[in-house]
Amino acid sequence: MKPLNPRFIFLLSLTVVSSSFGFYLPGLAPVSFCEEKSKGDAEECQTDIQLFVNRLDSVESVLPYEYDAFDFCKDTNERRPSENLGQVLFGERIETSPYKFSFKADKACVKVCTKSYDIGSSEDKLKLDFLKKGMELNYQHHWIVDNMPVTWCYIVEDGQKVCNPGFPIGCLVNQEGKPKDACVINADFNKKNTYYVFNHVDITIFYHSGDETNGMHARLVAATLEPQRSDFHSNDENPTCEGAPMDIPADFKSNLKVTYTYSVTFKQNDDIRWASRWDYILVSMPHTNIQWFSIMNSLVIVLFLTGMVAMIMLRTLHKDIARYNQMDQEEAQEESGWKQVHGDVFRPPRMGMLLSVFLGQGTQVFIMTFITLFLACMGFLSPANRGALMTCAVVLWVLLGTPAGYVSARLYKTFGGENWKTNVLLTAFLCPGIVFVDFFMMNLILWVEGSSAAVPFGTLVAILALWFGISVPLTFVGAYFGFKKPGIEPPVRTNQIPRQIPQQSFFTKAMPGIIMGGILPFGCIFIQLFFILNSIWSHQMYYMFGFLFLVFIILVITCSEATVLLCYFHLCAEDYHWWWRSFLTSGFTAVYLFVYAVHYFFSKLQIIGAASTILYFGYTLIMVLIFFIFTGTIGFFSCFWFVNKIYSVLKVD
């Protein structure tokens, strides 16, 4: 675990300030390279190229591990670049590696180190077993050069070129002789019950030559590699990188040596500009057509709902209100439907305290999500800014405690509540407390498993300091101004005696309406949700924030319109209990999200192990809770506006 040192505190403070203004762009300044530096070039270009290594992860396990957890070659002068809050929370552990190059200096078969495993050493046996387990679960290296991933590009069945930002540490041929994962690419992997370690890599670095006449030096625009396997038992001091694949028997019965080597080649490519050097990775992900299909599907749903709402507002409601205002009071008493419940529709709901707390937290999450996605859509939070997305979201959530306290207090006062102290405390601690307890329990499992995703104790202290030191006081400030103002005055007077609700049909009862209400919003997001889950659990790069922001807007519109429609139908059935129902109607979308996450776990993932399963569902519950209060808040305020609008035009006392 890392201690909370002054350097981290300074970095966290800088991140908070810069993220709040949306100009957090670390690592995006281009770095120039040259073969030989003269005295005048000392400040302008670099000759040495450092390869960094990140954590290793797998699609078959939720547990990532640091590079040092495996018995690979380590840098003698190991150092870690500064990490922001988002990188720490995501479990990224970047450090220097022994792979060091000089610009435009091609090298062939350079030895990095040799790892020896003695059959009589229990420590060596544990190291080798852990390495075998990593190959069995298909753990992937993630290397970085000049803040861009070193990719492994290969051709898939349909002839399309795919560039993966990670490459496997090895592969396995099981006892039946069936090759797994990367072992299928080479027919030489044919020994049963044998592991093949990728101990050699052929690295190719592409550079843009720049313009020497204008003083512009070369810049790196791409880095690819090809993992290889070679047996160096015979001559590991002067390897030739030739020979049979390096195999490790499943049974450790004799001493073993594994020599790690690399070859590096520099190639000039002036067709790729530095600003677009990530494009070759993103283009190889064929998601654009599917994304447009998702957008069109969502737009059709929105247009359908908009037409329904427009028909109700412009035709039904307009005619009803006009006819109602022309009648005298006795004729109006004979009317039925939504007009008859005007004396009860603003009766305070049961558990108004809990509803107001959820709405305060939902407002905070909504504003945070909108600003974060907008900044990501503008390119401020691109994949090149490692951890910037999470850092921005956390910082915004901390700084948005004031609107959460204000909305919660104002609505609670509208409901006639008087326990203002309980209200503000629940607003500040209920939902964040549930999330933190869940997150802490998942973090304990990661600590026990020795995973790199375990958040260090110092970072947990920093998160608590942000919560208690900034978010909670801001929530109290918002609640103070909320309670200082009078509650929202309803447009009609509430009767002292509640009106009896008539017998409801099946479709106008609470539960069927709530279940139906979440279907359409979920239909708008489920395709986008697939890619988001892929980026989280299958370690695929997510970059389509423009699509995501558009789907976010569509989701807000769909939740609003679906809730307004169902609210109108229930009021027409003379059921005036709309407060909680409006929140739960759109909030039920989170239940469909959980069901889809369960389906995704069993149908798409290959995760094995109790710890990984618990971690998956533990983090999924956090997502579901946040999504529940987010969508529920959208539905409530849409229905709140709708009900106030239609009853404010009635001429009743």
Per-residue pLDDT reduced to its tens digit, 295-323 = 777 777 777 777 777 776 666 666 666 66
Type of residue at 431: C
What percentage of the chain exceeds 70 in pLDDT? Answer: 84
Q: What is the pLDDT of residue 1?
A: 37
Three-state SS at 458: helix
Q: Which of 98-112, 222-236, 484-498 has the lowest mean pLDDT?
A: 222-236
Instruction: With respect to residue 575, please indicate whether it lies within any of the assigned structural domains.
Output: no
For residues 43-68, average pLDDT: 87
- pLDDT tens for 620-630 read 999 999 999 99
Q: How confident is the model at residue 631 (pLDDT cuts 50, 70, 90)?
A: very high
Instruction: With respect to residue 226, please indicate whether it lies within any of the assigned structural domains.
Output: yes
- pLDDT tens for 86-107 read 888 888 888 899 998 999 889 9
Paired tokens of 137: 């679960």
d(CA 404, CA 401): 5
Residue 651 has pLDDT above 70, yes or no: no
Paired tokens of 385: 């800014």
Instruction: With respect to residue 630, please indicate whether it lies within any of the assigned structural domains.
Output: no
Instruction: With respect to residue 384, please indicate whether it lies within any of the assigned structural domains.
Output: no
- pLDDT tens for 71-81 read 899 888 878 87
**Crossing angle of helices 388-399/352-377, nearest 10°?**
140
Q: How confident is the model at residue 431 (pLDDT cuts 50, 70, 90)?
A: very high
Q: What is the pLDDT of residue 37?
A: 60
- pLDDT tens for 578-597 read 899 999 999 999 999 999 99
Q: How confident is the model at residue 332 (pLDDT cuts 50, 70, 90)?
A: very low
CA distances from 263 to 34, 258, 438 (A): 20, 17, 46
Paired tokens of 272: 């790729």
If one compares 405 and 9, the residue with the highest pLDDT of the two is 405
Domain count, the chain: 1
Q: How confident is the model at residue 196 (pLDDT cuts 50, 70, 90)?
A: confident
Residue 259 has pLDDT above 60, yes or no: yes
d(CA 131, CA 122): 14
**What are residue 167's DSSP bridge partners?**
141
Type of residue at 141: H
Residue 286 has pLDDT above 60, yes or no: no
Is the CB of residue 570 less than 8 Å from the CB of residue 511? Answer: no
Q: What is the pLDDT of residue 215?
A: 59
- Give the neighbor-by-neighbor strand order of the sheet with 247-249: 170-173, 194-197, 247-249
Helix, strand and coil content of the chain, in percent to the nearest 5, comes to: 50, 15, 35
d(CA 117, CA 254): 9
For residues 221-248, average pLDDT: 70
d(CA 428, CA 404): 8
Host domain of residue 259: 6-27+50-283
| CA neighbor of 653 nearest in space, from 322, 327, 329, 323 | 329
Identify the helix (H) or strand (E) that includes residue 141: strand 140-141
- pLDDT tens for 539-578 read 777 777 888 888 899 899 889 988 988 888 888 888 888 8
Instruction: With respect to residue 374, please indicate whether it lies within any of the assigned structural domains.
Output: no
Mean pLDDT of the chain: 81
Q: What is the pLDDT of residue 334?
A: 45
Q: What is the pLDDT of residue 7?
A: 39
Q: What is the pLDDT of residue 16?
A: 36
d(CA 583, CA 508): 16
Q: What is the pLDDT of residue 527?
A: 81
Is the CB of residue 85 less than 8 Å from the CB of residue 391? Answer: yes
Q: Which of 229-243, 388-402, 502-516, 519-533 has the lowest mean pLDDT?
A: 229-243
Q: HSE on the CB side for 609, CA within 13 Å? A: 15
CA distances from 456 to 4, 89, 294, 652 (A): 9, 9, 39, 62
Q: What is the pLDDT of residue 278?
A: 79
CA distances from 611 to 20, 492, 528, 548, 617 (A): 36, 56, 27, 31, 10
Residue 4 has pLDDT above 50, yes or no: no
Instruction: With respect to residue 640, please indicate whether it lies within any of the assigned structural domains.
Output: no
First CA to last CA distance, the chain: 66
For residues 274-300, average pLDDT: 70
Q: How confident is the model at residue 52 (pLDDT cuts 50, 70, 90)?
A: very high
DSSP 68-107: GGS-----TT-------HHHHHHT---EEEEEEEETT--E
| CA neighbor of 91 nearest in space, from 140, 56, 58 | 56
Q: What is the pLDDT of residue 374?
A: 92
Q: How confident is the model at residue 480 (pLDDT cuts 50, 70, 90)?
A: very high
Q: What is the pLDDT of residue 336?
A: 53
Is the CB of residue 287 less than 8 Å from the CB of residue 232? Answer: no
d(CA 625, CA 633): 12
Q: How confident is the model at residue 272 (pLDDT cuts 50, 70, 90)?
A: confident
| CA neighbor of 561 nearest in space, from 606, 521, 532 | 521
d(CA 304, CA 484): 42
Residue with tokens 């490459």: 167
Instruction: With respect to residue 405, please indicate whether it lies within any of the assigned structural domains.
Output: no
Instruction: With respect to residue 79, please indicate whether it lies within any of the assigned structural domains.
Output: yes
Is the CB of residue 545 less than 8 Å from the CB of residue 70? Answer: no
Paired tokens of 614: 């618990």
d(CA 65, CA 360): 38
**Crossing angle of helices 472-484/420-449, nearest 10°?**
160
If one compares 9 and 539, the residue with the highest pLDDT of the two is 539
Residue 501 has pLDDT above 50, yes or no: yes
Give the global pTM. 0.84
Residue 458 has pLDDT above 80, yes or no: yes
For residue 360, count CB atoms less than 10 angstroms from its CB and return exposed for 0-12, middle for 13-18, buried for 19 or more: buried
